[in-house]
């Protein structure tokens, strides 16, 4: 059976970006899920940072996973993947120099594309996890990523949060990232088509949206007309796996009380124990002078 190489998959993703179609990603988190997604005909997959944290650490999405742990999981997927996989590389695991290391490791792992976001991570104590770095620092990270890349077919996508800034600031940020050479712009928090149209009007690179199934953005034809080539609806497959594991083991133990009938969100909260991390943050990160 013929297999596609990493370079083949990167070229396929480039063709996807150059098309006039909007594609939906499959959430892939291990080799088996990558094989399933490809077999079902998905054109592209994504390895989410939050999902990798759950899969590798059983920890909440508090920027706890390290580059080496994330790259190892990406490598496992890259060994078998027969669809292009986008890696959610968070903030590049540090400053611009860390971003360069991130590019080297994830390119070696075989991903077809990766996103570098301008979120201030890890979040400082008492601050929101949506705080952003300066545009200048964000531009520096994109330029560093492009410098570190060896295979020019691997796409470097700049990501920002469109849900927390005035529209003119979003436009300014995305224009700067485009000018820095990003192969695409990824946005989370776009509310509706009116907002998307105002942003897209100023951009010429392909767009990627993290929609989490936002019903106000469920028109693939219109998305495609505005330059959106990839949408990420969420990571339902992994959370369904958590629920299935819980139900299977609960049945094995013959536990059928009403209190144990938790949904996937409740299960994730229960077993990642975020309250512990919040307590530790208060104890060790709250600086008292």
Helix (H, G, I), strand (E, B) or coil at 53: helix
Residue 212 token pair: 């989490």
Residue 242 token pair: 């958590």
pLDDT, average across residues 204-224: 96
CA distance 64 to 281: 12
The annotation places the binding site at 50, 88, 159, 235
Percent of the chain at pLDDT above 90?
87
The annotation places the binding site for substrate at 50, 159, 235
End-to-end CA distance of the chain: 65
The annotation places the binding site for Mg(2+) at 88
**Residue 259 pLDDT grade (very low, low, confident, very high; cuts 50, 70, 90):** low
Residue 210 has pLDDT above 60, yes or no: yes
CA distance 40 to 195: 33
In tens, the pLDDT along 28-73 reads: 999 999 999 999 999 999 999 999 999 999 999 998 999 999 999 9
- Tell me if the bond preceding 122 is cis, omega within 30° of 0: yes
Q: What angle do CA 257, 261, 264 make, to 5 degrees?
A: 160
Residue 1 has pLDDT above 80, yes or no: no
Helix (H) or strand (E) holding 146: helix 135-148
pTM of the shown model: 0.94
**Residue 128 pLDDT grade (very low, low, confident, very high; cuts 50, 70, 90):** low
Percent of the chain at pLDDT above 70?
97
In tens, the pLDDT along 145-195 reads: 999 999 999 999 999 999 999 999 999 999 999 999 999 999 999 999 999
Burial of 243 (0-12, 13-18, 19+ CB in 10 A): middle
Q: Tell me the C-alpha to C-alpha distance, in Å, between residue 129 and each of 115, 122, 125, 134, 161.
A: 17, 8, 10, 15, 11
Q: Tell me the C-alpha to C-alpha distance, in Å, between residue 188 and each of 154, 160, 208, 214.
A: 21, 7, 9, 11
Residue 118 has pLDDT above 70, yes or no: yes
CA distance 141 to 7: 24
Residue 109 has pLDDT above 70, yes or no: yes
**Residue 122 pLDDT grade (very low, low, confident, very high; cuts 50, 70, 90):** confident
DSSP codes, 115-128: EEE-B-SSPPTTS-
């Amino acid at each position: 059976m013929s297999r596609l190489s990493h370079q083949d998959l990167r070229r396929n993703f480039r063709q996807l970006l150059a098309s006039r179609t909007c594609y939906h990603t499959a959430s892939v988190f291990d080799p088996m899920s990558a094989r399933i997604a490809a077999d079902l005909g998905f054109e592209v997959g994504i390895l989410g940072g939050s999902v990798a944290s759950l899969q590798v650490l059983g920890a909440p999405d508090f920027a706890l996973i390290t580059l080496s742990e994330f790259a190892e999981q990406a490598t496992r997927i890259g060994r078998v993947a027969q669809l292009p996989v986008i890696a959610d590389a968070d903030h590049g695991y540090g400053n611009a120099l860390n971003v360069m290391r991130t590019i080297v490791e994830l390119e070696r792992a075989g991903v077809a594309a990766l996103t570098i976001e301008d979120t201030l991570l890890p979040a400082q104590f008492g601050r929101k996890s949506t705080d952003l770095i300066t545009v200048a620092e964000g531009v520096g990270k994109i330029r560093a990523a492009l410098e570190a890349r060896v295979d020019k077919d691997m796409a470097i996508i700049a990501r920002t949060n469109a849900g927390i800034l005035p529209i003119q600031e979003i436009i300014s940020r995305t224009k700067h990232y485009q000018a820095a050479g990003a192969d695409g712009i990824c946005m989370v928090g776009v509310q509706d088509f009116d907002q998307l149209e105002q942003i897209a009007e100023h951009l010429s690179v392909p767009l990627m949206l993290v929609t989490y199934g936002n019903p106000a953005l469920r028109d693939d034809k219109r998305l495609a007309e505005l330059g959106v080539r990839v949408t990420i609806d969420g990571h339902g497959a992994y959370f369904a796996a958590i629920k299935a594991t819980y139900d299977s083991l609960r049945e094995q133990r013959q536990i059928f009380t009403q209190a144990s009938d938790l949904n996937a969100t409740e299960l994730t909260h229960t077993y990642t124990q975020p309250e512990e991390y919040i307590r530790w943050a208060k104890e060790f990160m709250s600086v008292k002078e």
